Chain A
Amino acid sequence: MTPADGLGTRPWPVGPRAIVFLLLLAAGSWGVVYLELDPADLLPGAGGVATTKRFFARALSPAWVTEARFVPVDSPPLLIGALEAAWQTLRFAAAAVALSLVIGIALGVPASTAVWAPDPEGSPSIARRFARRSLLPALYLVTRTIIGFLRSIHELLWAVLFLVAFGLNDLTAVVAIALPYGGVLAKIFSEMIDEAPRDSAETLREAGARPLQVLLFALLPRALPDMTGYAFYRMECALRASAVLGFFGFPTLGLFIRQSFSATNYGEVWTYLYTLALLVILFDAWSGAVRRRLTS
C-alpha cells in the first residue's frame, strides 16, 4: 500500500497484521523454551519402537475376527461388536445434540440483540423503559455468563465431574456433551440471529408485530439455514466426543480401542479405528452436502 493511494497513513511503521505475526512467532518460541522441548524425544524410546512397529504392522491388516484368546461366551463376533459400538457412539452423540439444541435455542435467543428493536418515536411507557434500560441488559448479561461458563469447560471435564457425582451412567455422557455443546450452539445461534438480514423483521415491526412475533416469523426463519448447517457440524464433533468418552468407560468406540490396545490386540485396534474413521467421514460427507445446499 503506497501513501499515495489516499487511504490514510499508518499510525505505526508495521501494520497490526505484522504485529500479530511477530506475536505468534514469539508465543510459539516461548512454548518451545518453556516446555524444554527436545526434538530427540520425538523418536520412540527402546520399548516404544517395538510397540510402534507391531502396531503399525497391522495398519493394513485389521482384524476380521476377535484376536483375544479368551473371550466371554456371549460376546458377539468382532465386526458385529464394532458396529454395535458405532451405534452406541451415534446414540450418545444424537441424544447429546438433541439436548444441546434445546439449551442452545433457550439461551441463544435471549443472548441475541436483534429481537429488541429500538423504541418507537415518542415517549415509551415507564414499564417499557424499565424493561429496556435494566431488565434486558441484565438478561443479556446473565445468559452470556451462563453460555461462557458452559462453553469454557470441556466435555470430558464435565464427564469427569458427573462421573464423580453420579457414577457411570449413560445419561452422564449425554449431559456431559450436551452442556458445553449447548453453550457453543447458544453463542453461535445468537450471532447468527443477529447477523441474519433484518428486512423482514423491520417490515413486521412496522406492521405492529410484537418482539415474539418478529422473532418467530422474521428473525428465526432468516437464520434457520445457517443454524441447521451448524447443528449438523456440531453432530460431527459430537460423534468424536462420544467416541472419546468410551475411554472413560462408556460403551462407545473409545472403550474398545482402549481395551484392545492394552491387550496388545493391535489388529482389533485398527478395526475399531477404521470403524470410527468411517463413521465420522460418512457423517462429514453427509453434513458437508447438506451445508452446501443450505448456503447456496
Chain B
Amino acid sequence: MERCCSTQADILSAQTRSRQQIRILHARRPRDWFLRTSLIAFAGLLCAAIWIGDFEWKFSEQRGRNLARFAEEMRPFPLQHEPWSTDVAFRWSAQLLDDKGAAAAAKTLAISLVAISIAGSIALVLSFPAARTFARPDAWSRSSPASRPSNRIAWTSLYLSTRAALIALRAMPEYVWAFLLLAALGPTPWVAILALALHNIGTLGRLGAETVENAEPRVFETLRAVGADRTQVVAFGLWPQLLPRFLLFYFYRWETCVREATVLGMLGIASLGFWIDDARARGHTDELVFWVLLGSAIVLVGDATSALARWAVRRA
C-alpha cells in the first residue's frame, strides 16, 4: 500500500513546484524585441485596416439585388429566363470551347511554359553571383591566400548588382511589366512571356541564391582543400545539391505562371484573359463566368501536374 500514500499536501506542493518551474521557464524564454514590435505593428496594421479602413462591410439591400441580377445573368444565354436544361447548357459550353476556349487555353499553357523555361534558365545562372558564399574571391576555401583588393571589389560589386537587379525585377508585379512592355512591343505573346519571365527571374533567382547559401559548406571546403577550383566545386559539389531544390521552386513558380498567364490576356494578348475581358466589355456575364471557370480548370490541371512533377523530383 506504499504507492497510494501520497497525501493531499504532497500533491499540492508538487503542483506548486511545477507551476514555479513553468514560471521560471516562461521568464527565461528567449525574447526578441524586434520580433515582438514587428508582430504588434503587423497585427495593428491589419486591425486598423479593418476597423478604420473605411470599408462598407454591410450587406445592403442594393448588394442583394446586384447579386440576384448577377446570378440571373450568369446563366447560359439560351437559358436566361428559361427553365434549366443541362443539355442546352452543355451544348452552349461545347460551342464556346470549340470556338475559342480550347485554343485560348492551349495558348495560356504555352505562354506559361515558355516563360518559366526562360525564367528558370536565367535564374539558375544568376543564383550563383547572387549567393554570398559563392560571390567572393576565396569561395569555400578555408586557408585563403590574401586576395587582391581589386579582386574582392569585383566580386562584391557583382554580388551587389545581381542582388539589386533581382530585387527590382521581383518588386514589379507581372501585370505592370506586361502593361509597360505592351506599349513597346504591341500585342504579341512575347509581352506576356517576358513579363512573367522578368518577375520570376527575380523570385527564382532569390530562392536559388538562398539554396546556394544554405547548402552544407563542408563538402565544398573539403573539395577546395584537395585542390578543386571554383568550377569543379560547383559541378561536383553544389550542382547535385542545388538542382532538386531548384526544380521544386521551378514547379511552384510555374503554378503561379499559369494563373498569371490567364490574367495577362486581359491586356489584349491572346490568352484566356483576352476572352474574359472581351466578355466583360460586351456585358456577357454568362461567357465571363464560363471563361473564369475554364481558367480555374486549367489552373487545377496545372497544379496537379506540378504536384506530380514535384513528387517525381523528390523521389529521385
Which one of A30-38, A69-77, A112-120 is at the interface? A30-38
Inter-chain contact B117/A27, CB cutoff 8 Å: yes
Instruction: Across the interface, name the chain B residue whose C-beta is closest to A242.
Output: B173
Q: Is B188 an interface residue (CB 8 A)?
A: yes
Query: What B residues does A220 contact at CB under 8 A?
Result: none
A87 to chain B, nearest CB (A): 11
Residue in A95, A170, A273, A286 whose CB lies within 8 Å of B38: A286
Query: What B residues does A48 contact at CB under 8 A?
Result: 183-186
Q: Is B211 an interface residue (CB 8 A)?
A: no
Residue in B50, B190, B266 whose CB lies within 8 Å of A98: B50
How distant is the Cα of A261 from the Cα of B267 in the complex, in angstroms?
Answer: 14
Known: A55-B183, A152-B300. A91 touches B49 (CB 8 A): yes
Residue in A55, A151, A171, A293 whose CB lies within 8 Å of B180: A55
Query: What B residues does A197 contact at CB under 8 A?
Result: none
Q: How large is the interface on A (under 10, 10 to 19, 20 to 34, 35 or more residues)?
A: 35 or more
B311 to chain A, nearest CB (A): 9
Among B114, B280, B285, B292, the one with the most A-chain Cβ atoms within 10 Å of its Cβ is B114
Inter-chain contact A153/B295, CB cutoff 8 Å: yes
Q: Mark A80-108, 1 if CB is under 8 A from B, else 0.
A: 00000000001101110111010000000
Q: Is A9 an interface residue (CB 8 A)?
A: no
How distant is the Cα of A284 from the Cα of B180 in the complex, in angstroms?
Answer: 23
User: Which residues of A (31-71) have their CB < 8 Å from a CB of B?
Assistant: 31-32, 34-35, 37, 41-42, 44-45, 47-49, 51-52, 55
How distant is the Cα of A247 from the Cα of B266 in the complex, in angstroms?
Answer: 11
Instruction: Across the interface, name the chain B residue whose C-beta is closest to A248.
Output: B266
Q: Is B76 an interface residue (CB 8 A)?
A: no
Q: Is B35 an interface residue (CB 8 A)?
A: yes
Known: A15-B316, A289-B34. A156 touches B263 (CB 8 A): yes
Which one of B54-62, B137-145, B154-162, B221-229 is at the interface? B54-62
Residue in B63, B70, B313 whose CB lies within 8 Å of A164: B70
B285 to chain A, nearest CB (A): 6
B interface secondary structure, majority: helix
How distant is the Cα of A167 from the Cα of B42 in the complex, in angstroms?
Answer: 30
Inter-chain contact B67/A165, CB cutoff 8 Å: yes
Q: Mark B178-201, 1 if CB is under 8 A from A, else 0.
A: 011001111011100110000000
Query: What A residues does B309 contact at CB under 8 A?
Result: 20, 23
Residue in A16, A52, A95 whose CB lies within 8 Å of B313: A16
A interface secondary structure, majority: helix
Q: Is A24 an interface residue (CB 8 A)?
A: yes
Q: Is B217 an interface residue (CB 8 A)?
A: no
Known: A31-B110, A91-B49, A170-B56. A257 touches B262 (CB 8 A): no
Inter-chain contact B176/A28, CB cutoff 8 Å: no
Inter-chain contact A152/B313, CB cutoff 8 Å: no
Number of residue pairs spanning A and B whose beta carbons lie under 8 angstroms apart: 201
Inter-chain contact B63/A149, CB cutoff 8 Å: no
Query: What B residues does A109 contact at CB under 8 A?
Result: none
Query: What A residues does B259 contact at CB under 8 A?
Result: 154
Inter-chain contact A244/B167, CB cutoff 8 Å: no
User: Which residues of B (94-146) have their CB < 8 Å from a CB of A?
Assistant: 106-107, 109-114, 116-117, 120
Known: A19-B312, A247-B179. A95 touches B53 (CB 8 A): yes
Q: Is B276 an interface residue (CB 8 A)?
A: yes
Known: A235-B42, A244-B173, A257-B176. A160 touches B288 (CB 8 A): yes
Residue in B32, B114, B179, B188 whose CB lies within 8 Å of A293: B32
Query: What A residues does B38 contact at CB under 8 A?
Result: 286, 289-290
A-B contacts, 25 listed (Cβ < 8 Å): A16-B313, A27-B113, A28-B116, A30-B113, A31-B109, A34-B107, A35-B114, A41-B188, A52-B183, A55-B180, A95-B49, A148-B300, A153-B295, A154-B260, A154-B295, A156-B175, A156-B263, A160-B276, A160-B288, A161-B289, A166-B66, A235-B42, A254-B176, A273-B176, A277-B168
Interface residues of B (CB under 8 A from A): 32, 34-35, 38-39, 42, 45-50, 53-57, 63, 66-67, 69-70, 106-107, 109-114, 116-117, 120, 167-168, 170-173, 175-176, 179-180, 183-186, 188-190, 193-194, 243-244, 247, 250, 259-260, 262-263, 266, 276-277, 280, 285, 288-289, 292, 295-297, 299-300, 303, 309, 312-313, 315-316
User: Which 5 pairs across A and B sit closest by C-beta, in order of nearness?
Assistant: A28-B117, A94-B49, A31-B110, A165-B70, A98-B46
